Chain A
Amino acid sequence: MVTIATQGLSVALGRRPVLHDVDTRLEPGALIGVIGPNGAGKSTLVRALLGLVPATSGGVAIDGVPVAAIRRADLARRIAYLPQGQTLHWPLTVERLVALGRLPHLAPFSRIGAADLAAIDRAIAQADIGHLRGRVATELSGGERARVLLARALAVEADALIADEPLAALDPGHQLEVMALLRVQAEAGALVVAVLHDLTLAARHCDRLLLLHEGRLVADGPPDTVLTAERMAEIYGVRAWIGRLEGRRLVVPLDHHG
C-alpha cells in the first residue's frame, strides 16, 4: 500500500514557476484523476510525485518518507509510472518492451525468472495486446503503442500506478477498456493516479478528481463536486452541459467563450 502526500508543493521548471503550494493526500484503493487545461501543471505534478522534478519549496512524502530520501530502485518497485507521450528509442518487440517493466525486480546480472514471465503475461493480457506480442513496437499505430506502454507499466505490478494521459490516441472502445482496467487496479487496493483530458470518462470512472489551474490545485474531491458548470466556464472557458444519461455522468462542452 502506498500513500502519497504533498505539502505546500511548489515546482519550477528552469526559472518558470509551474506548481504553487499544492496540498493533497492520495490514499490507496482509489482511482484519482488529475484534470485541468493545457499547461495547468498536471504532468509536472505527477512527475513531482515521483521525485522526477525537485520541489522548489514544500515536498512530497511517500508513506511519510520524503521522496528524495528514497532510493530510486526501491521507489521503482513501489510506484509504476507511465510517462506522457510515446518515447521509444529502439525498435524492440512488444514482449521485450513489456519485459522492461520487470527491471526493478531483477537482481543485478540475474536472468528473468518464472515470476517475471508470469507478470509479463498478465500485463499483456490486461492491456489486450496478446495479438501484438511479436510485433516491433515502433511499427505499431499510436493507439496500439499506447496500450503496449501501459502494459509495460502494469508489468511492474507495483502498489501504485501513475499514468500520464493513458487514454491519448485510443479509440472509444479502448478508452473505456483502459479506464475499466485502471478501476480494477484501484479496487484491488492500488493507488491509481491518471492525468486525463476526457472529462466525461474522468467524471464517470474516477473516485476523486484533482483540478489544476495555472499551477494551483483549485478543486479536490468527488467528481460531482469538482465538475460544475461554473468551474467549466471559469477554468476551461467553455459553456458545458453536465448531466446524466442512463445513470452515467456526462460532461459535454457546448461552446467556447474565450
Chain B
Amino acid sequence: MSRALLIGGLAVLAVVAGLLSVAVGAVPIAWARIAAVLAGGGDDVARTILIDLRLPRALLGLAVGAMLGISGAAMQGFLRNPLAEPSVLGVSSTAALGAVIALYFGFATLHLAALPVLAILGAFVGLGVLALLSGRSESPLTLILAGIAVSTLAVAGTSLALNMSPNPFAAMEIMNWLLGSLEDRSFQHVAIALPCIALGVVLLLWDGRALDALTLGEDGATSLGVDLRRTRLRLLVGIAIGVGGAVAISGAIGFIGLIVPHLVRPLTDRSPGAILLPSLLAGAALLTLADVAVRIIPTTAELKLGVVTAFLGVPIFLVHLMRERRLW
C-alpha cells in the first residue's frame, strides 16, 4: 500500500471517529440537528450538548490516542523491542501516582487543574529518576530496567494510597480514575492536555530517521550520523511531556501504545520511522472509537475506557500476531 494512501485513509478514519464521538452519547440527537450545529447554527440544547460536552471529549480522545499511538511506535523503534510501549519507561506510572496523590490528599477538589498538573509533575519526576538510574548508558536494556524500577516504585506508591484510603469511597475514586476515562471532560482539560501532547508529538516525530538508522544497532546508527544522546533526550522529554499530559487527563489507558504500532507496521515498509505518523493517526482513531463503544455498550455500571481498549485490543492484536509471527 502506498504511504500517501495509508496516511490519507487513517486520517479519514480518525475524522470519522471524531465525528462519531460527537454524534453518539447518552442523549440521542438526530443527525439533522448535529449537522445544523456543525454548520454553525442549530438549537441551544443541541449546541450545549455537542459543543460543550461532546466536542471536548472527542478532541481529547483523538489527542490522547494520537499521543499513545506515536509514543508506542517511537519507544518500540528506539528500544528496538516490539514489546515496548509508553509505560515501559515508567513515566505513565509516575504520572498516575501524581494524579493519585491529588485525589488522596483532596487537592483534586480544590481546582480542576490540580490533578492534571500534579500528574504532569509526576511524569517529570519519573523522567528525572529514570535519567539518574540509566546514567549515560546508550543501551536500550539499561533504560528498560531503569523504567521497570521507576514504574514499580510508582505503582507501589499508588497501592499505598489505596491501602491507606480513609474510606471505601476514596479508594473507589482512585480506582475509577486508574481505569481510565474521558467522561465529563471540558475545554479546560483540552487546554491543559493539548499543548503538552502537541509538544510531545513534535519531539517524537523529529527522530524518524534516527530510529530507522537504529535498525542497524547503536554503532551502525552512530556511523550513519545519528547523535544518539540527543535523540534519546528528545524522545524521553517528548514521552514525559506528551504521555504525562495524556495520562493527566484520561487516566491510565493501556494497550493502545503497544498494539497500534503492530497494527500499522505490516502496512508500511516496517522501518521504525515509517510507522510514526500512521501510529499517531491509528491511535487517535482507535481510542476515539473505543470511547464511542463505551457509550454505546449498555451496562449497569459505567464502562471504563481502559477496560474497553484492552478487550478490544487483545483480539485484534492476537490475529495480527498469528499472521506476523514468522517474521519475529
Contacts and interface: CB of A to CB of B under 8 A. Distances in A.
Interface of A: 47, 50, 52, 72-77, 79-81, 83, 87-93, 96-97, 100-101, 103-104, 106, 108, 136, 138-139, 149, 152, 156
A121 B225 CA distance: 22
B232 interface: no
B101 interface: no
A154 to B, nearest CB: 13
Contact of A90 (B219, B220, B227, B271): B271
Given A90-B215, A91-B327, A81 B225 contact: no
B269 A96 contact: yes
Interface in B258-273: 269-272
For chain B, the bracket of interface size reads 20 to 34
- Report which residue of A83, A90, A138 has the largest number of chain B beta carbons within 10 angstroms of its beta carbon: A90
Given A73-B225, A90-B272, A104-B224, A97 B209 contact: no
B223 A79 contact: yes
8 contacts: A72-B227, A74-B225, A77-B225, A80-B223, A83-B217, A89-B214, A100-B212, A149-B216
Contact of A93 (B212, B217, B269): B269
Contacts, number: 78
Contacts of B222: 50, 52, 72
Main secondary structure of the interface of B (DSSP, over half): helix
A72 B209 contact: no
Contacts of B215: 88-90, 92, 97, 100
Nearest to A84: B219
Please give me the 7 A-B residue pairs with the lowest Cβ-Cβ distance, nearest first: A76-B225, A81-B223, A87-B217, A73-B225, A89-B80, A91-B327, A104-B225
A49 to B, nearest CB: 11
Interface in B185-225: 209, 212-217, 219-220, 222-225
B305 to A, nearest CB: 31
Interface of B: 80, 209, 212-217, 219-220, 222-227, 269-272, 327-328
A96 B209 CA distance: 13
B264 to A, nearest CB: 13
A47 B213 contact: no
A31 to B, nearest CB: 19
A88 B214 CA distance: 9
Contact of B224 (A47, A76, A92, A96): A76
Nearest to A104: B225
Given A81-B219, A90-B270, 5 more contacts: A87-B216, A90-B215, A90-B272, A91-B270, A93-B269
A87 B214 CA distance: 10
B209 A106 contact: yes
Contacts of A77: 225
B90 to A, nearest CB: 22
B219 A52 contact: yes
B209 A103 contact: yes
B225 A100 contact: no
A89 B327 contact: no
A210 to B, nearest CB: 20
Given A103-B224, A103-B225, A138-B327, A83 B269 contact: no
Contacts of B226: 72
Contact of B212 (A103, A136, A156): A103
Nearest to A85: B217
A106 B210 CA distance: 12
Contacts of A93: 269-270
B219 A92 contact: no
A80 B216 CA distance: 13
A152 B213 CA distance: 11
A141 to B, nearest CB: 16
A76 B213 CA distance: 12
A47 B225 contact: no
Contacts of B220: 81, 83, 87
A77 B222 CA distance: 12
- Report which residue of A81, A87, A89, A97 has the largest number of chain B beta carbons within 10 angstroms of its beta carbon: A89
Nearest to B216: A87
B80 A83 contact: no
Contacts of B270: 90-93, 96
A103 B222 CA distance: 11
B269 A100 contact: no
